[in-house]
Structure 1
């Protein structure tokens, strides 16, 4: 899930430290917004604004998974749009340069196809002239266009998912304009998953299903690495194409391994398909899904029995979690959602609103009107929230593009139709 909140985000690099590889305010091939009087965006300020930014408006782009097997994730977009629309109705967001701007939020569906994502991103940069991206999804997609967006000076803020090692490295060396990943790194997520599996069953025999693309392969590699030195064993592996209409044959093959644990390193409706088929085959392993996917909407459609023994990890509060009825943040959100005609139990919609409100804090801290200024704010602004789970502290480091360094196990309870939050906190430093 997307969550927001952390201690002060430490600066990745000191001002001017990028040297010859510096990321310029407007990026290569993008002209600044200048009015007839020669000032940026119609402003009296001498500094030029990035394309997409005027004194009264800022254009924000997004390319994300919204259809097909990932249709449920459209709720993230809807939640964000609800927040941005509300802000616009009240006049806009007042940014750090003192200007109040309305947000033109342009979101395009890429269907989790990197080729479509590249087309979307180029359209948003070159035709729509967005100043920054918000909430983009897909590791393969981001890797396909990060050189382009960085060269253009258009940062990726709050990308959804878990950053792989390559993007972590590029964050560290300053060659990729992305910040505030909403999930833990792939390595940390899998370390927690392996520790939790071993705590339940030190000799677990694991069957793995992963998507045959960058995200799934990265998850598998990190999972294998995290298992080194443990008594756990992967006894079967199957992959699937993200365009596949069914994964029944893969689940049937995995069932033949008699594994006692199932690790689903995929996402979207493939989780629903997997859980349903497992139940049909009368297979009863402990079932683990990735941290980006603990949504009630992806679990319950699998049907009775299929939702037993499903686990994941989490770090932030979600609408589908049990026992948060008296939590101030949850109460406030529920009241807002109900008053505005939204379903307060839709955890993906809620996650979209949380991410959008976090992005607003970034804009409020942006001292300037360029993509680079937004990027700098994302790395250095003090941002706050009440959405971290009990015992979990968000903290940032120069080494980590994610603010997540702690997590707990969550277990789905079919009787309560929600997630029960564990009490043991796993930390990256352990």
Structure 2
């Protein structure tokens, strides 16, 4: 009996040991990741006032398909789940919660827009879900102390605004500056940046400031206010729909100030063409990429590779 007990006990210990070894051999991943899949969530403006940006998400989905066709990431296929937030903060909150709590994504990727990202930043950090490459350059998304799970993507809007201010001081030191800006972190960062670049001369050089809401149908009244102030240099801190409206309205009014435009709205296809090619002549801005519609890059190897990708994976893309 005694020998039988020890034999039984030994069997149990062996079974437990084998069970523990088996458990240790199993790989453990965070929610949304496995040996075969990486689940990623994204919201962006497929509709609404910033729907010009929808092509970004469609291109990214096409790119993920290309990566999957090439074998994925270390054998794992990327499952990109996309929802429309219509550039609306309440909608973004609803859709991000769905991605995290229902779809159980590993991370969010390139959620687009300052208002949408601001609305979900705290939630994602509390949940410890990476807010990876948030598609905005607002300063609040470069704050690892308070938001360690957030990583911005775009160059900083405040710094960009400061560059414009320094440019104005150098090239147009006697300018009367009028500023149109979006009434959120995007526009306010640009406003504060250009004032920092102008320094002590900001108060005397800036003769008009006018803000707009993303829900506004037009910015016509703001343009009239800035024009009537006597401004001869116009800084537009806007997103594509309103940038195109401003360019077109200036042209219709016969008002031709020096026109500086922020980086979010430099697209030829989404802004310049809708506003009118003639009306868009002379607009000044910066870019950190190569515009596919700029003939400067027609023989560029990287651009040729890009067009080959688009032809295969997103042929209807603009």
Give the shorter-chain TM-score range: 0.7 to 0.9
Equivalent residues of 2:207, 2:229 under 8 A apart: yes
In structure 1, C-alpha distance between the alignment counterparts of 2:59 and 2:298, rounded to whole Å: 21
Aligned-residue offset at 1:304: 4.6
Secondary structure class of the residue paired with 2:49: helix
TM alignment of 1:217-228, pairs within 5 A: 217-228=188-199
In structure 2, C-alpha distance between the alignment counterparts of 1:210 and 1:293, rounded to whole Å: 12
2:141 corresponds to 1:167: yes
Aligned mate of 1:148, from 123, 130, 140:
123
Aligned mate of 2:165, from 180, 194, 208:
194
Secondary structure class of the residue paired with 1:278: helix
2:39 corresponds to 1:66: no
Secondary structure class of the residue paired with 2:189: helix
Counterpart in the other structure of 1:399: none
Counterpart in the other structure of 1:286: 258
Aligned-residue offset at 1:39: 11
2:153 corresponds to 1:182: yes
In structure 2, C-alpha distance between the alignment counterparts of 1:134 and 1:79, rounded to whole Å: 13
> Structure 1: where are the runs of 5+ without partners?
1-36, 95-99, 347-430
Deviation track 1:175-196 (CA, whole Å, cap 9, x = no partner) reads 33122x3321122111211122
Equivalent residues of 1:146, 1:176 under 8 A apart: no
Equivalent residues of 1:183, 1:292 under 8 A apart: no
Equivalent residues of 1:209, 1:266 under 8 A apart: yes
In structure 2, C-alpha distance between the alignment counterparts of 1:154 and 1:43, rounded to whole Å: 25
Counterpart in the other structure of 1:216: 187
Question: What is the Cα-based RMSD across aligned positions, in Å?
Answer: 2.4
Deviation track 1:366-404 (CA, whole Å, cap 9, x = no partner) reads xxxxxxxxxxxxxxxxxxxxxxxxxxxxxxxxxxxxxxx
Question: Whose RCO is larger (CA < 8 A, sep 6+)?
Answer: 1
Of residues 218-227 and 150-159 in structure 1, the stretch that sits farther from structure 2 once superposed is 218-227
2:292 corresponds to 1:319: yes
TM alignment of 1:1-400, pairs within 5 A: 44-46=25-27, 48-94=28-74, 100-164=75-139, 166-168=140-142, 170-171=143-144, 173=145, 175-179=147-151, 181-230=152-201, 233-297=205-269, 298-340=271-313, 342=315, 346=318
Aligned-residue offset at 1:338: 2.9
Equivalent residues of 2:237, 2:261 under 8 A apart: yes
Aligned-residue offset at 1:145: 2.1
In structure 1, C-alpha distance between the alignment counterparts of 2:304 and 2:24, rounded to whole Å: 41
Q: CA distance change for structure 1 residues 225 and 233 in 2, over 3 Å: closer, same or farther?
A: same
Pair member with larger Rg? 2
> Structure 2: where are the runs of 5+ without partners?
1-18
Aligned-residue offset at 1:163: 3.0
Secondary structure class of the residue paired with 2:29: coil
In structure 1, C-alpha distance between the alignment counterparts of 2:52 and 2:294, rounded to whole Å: 18
Secondary structure class of the residue paired with 2:92: helix
